[in-house]
């Protein structure tokens, strides 16, 4: 089952709390920041086309260990108990990246940096909305896990090819280049596990099985 979700730019533009994760500005910018974010929001509204595509696949009940689905080996314990997987691709379209590049080319680094941060947070928001859409589609009896992305400890980068199998990214204008990089650049992909007995539902510490957790500066919890 494959479907596309489309969002208004204003639905995914980050609130100040989300932006705090990306913008670690000092006091020197505190007066200017609200106006800079307002300006970024205006540009974002005029140039972003947030969309996502979701593909639901079953994990066969008779699957051997490690279980597999759609050609993907589910080696990480974070997939334990999954009976379905949702393959997700999200994008903001080419517009935000073009504006960011134009700011940097023109020497307006601050405006480019603010729009970059807003766009990354907005992309996170698109993924959260896709996860909610998958939950609604799958029904309340299935628990959803955390979205895991190719290149993280739970999924090799080569997973990109499986997520993009059947050229599902084309439905929202996203393609992979030879290095598995998604174009437009403000795009992301991931896999969401679902199951009645999912061992690690959404909100679990996704870093718990990562061998970099002891010294990782990006670790959110645990």
Rounded least distance, CB 74 to ligand SF4, Å: 16
Decide whether 196 or 212 has the Cβ nearer to ligand SF4: 212
In angstroms, the Cα distances linking 3 to 44, 51, 84, 139, 154 are 25, 11, 16, 16, 25
Site for ligand SF4 in 27-46 (CB under 6 A): none
Segment contacting ligand SF4 by CB under 6 A, of 67-75, 103-111, 155-163, 213-221: 213-221
Q: Which two tokens stand for residue 161?
A: 């090819």
Segment contacting ligand SF4 by CB under 6 A, of 23-31, 109-117, 174-182, 203-211: 203-211
The mark string for 153-172 relative to ligand SF4 (x by CB under 6 A, - otherwise) is x-------------------
Decide whether 63 or 204 has the Cβ nearer to ligand SF4: 204
Rounded least distance, CB 148 to ligand SF4, Å: 9
Rounded least distance, CB 154 to ligand SF4, Å: 8
Decide whether 140 or 218 has the Cβ nearer to ligand SF4: 218
The position carrying tokens 């993924």 is 127
Decide whether 83 or 159 has the Cβ nearer to ligand SF4: 159
**212 belongs to the binding site for ligand SF4 (CB under 6 A):** yes
Decide whether 21 or 212 has the Cβ nearer to ligand SF4: 212
**Is the omega angle on the peptide bond into residue 184 within 30 degrees of 0, that is, cis?**
yes
Decide whether 97 or 124 has the Cβ nearer to ligand SF4: 124
**210 belongs to the binding site for ligand SF4 (CB under 6 A):** yes
**213 belongs to the binding site for ligand SF4 (CB under 6 A):** yes
In angstroms, the Cα distances linking 38 to 9, 80, 103 are 13, 43, 16
Got the DSSP string for the chain? -EEEEE--HHHHSPPHHHHHHH----GGGTTTHHHHHHHHHHHHHHH---EEEEEEEE--TTPPSSPEETTEE--SGGGTT-SEEEEEEEE--SHHHHHHHHHHHTT-HHHHHHHHHHHHHHHHHHHHHHHHHHHHHH-TTSEE---B-TTSTTS-TTHHHHHTGGGGGGGGT-EE-TTS-EESSSEEEEEEEEETT-SS-TTS-TTTT-TTTTT-TT----
The mark string for 125-154 relative to ligand SF4 (x by CB under 6 A, - otherwise) is ---------------------------xx-
Q: By the criterion CB under 6 A, which residues form the site for ligand SF4?
A: 152-153, 206-207, 210, 212-213, 216, 218-219
């Amino acid at each position: 089952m494959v479907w596309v979700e489309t969002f208004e730019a204003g639905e995914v533009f980050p609130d100040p709390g989300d932006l705090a994760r990306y913008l670690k500005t000092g006091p020197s910018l505190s007066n200017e920041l609200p106006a800079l974010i307002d300006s970024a929001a205006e540009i974002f509204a005029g140039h972003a086309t947030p969309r996502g595509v979701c593909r639901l696949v079953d994990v066969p009940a008779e699957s051997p260990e490690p279980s597999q689905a759609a050609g993907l080996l589910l080696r990480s314990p974070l997939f334990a108990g999954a009976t379905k997987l949702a393959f997700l691709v999200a994008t903001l379209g080419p517009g935000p990246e073009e504006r960011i590049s134009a700011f940097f080319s023109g020497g307006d680094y601050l405006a480019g940096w603010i729009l970059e941060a807003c766009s990354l947070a907005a992309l996170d928001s698109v993924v959260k909305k896709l996860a909610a859409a998958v939950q609604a589609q799958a029904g309340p009896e299935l628990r959803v896990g955390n979205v895991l992305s190719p290149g993280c400890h739970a999924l090799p980068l080569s997973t990109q090819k499986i997520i993009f199998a059947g050229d599902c990214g084309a439905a929202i204008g996203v393609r992979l280049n030879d290095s598995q990089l998604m174009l437009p650049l403000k795009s992301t992909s991931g896999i969401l596990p679902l199951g009645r007995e999912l061992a690690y539902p959404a909100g679990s510490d996704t870093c718990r099985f990562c061998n970099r957790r002891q010294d990782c500066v990006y670790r959110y919890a645990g």
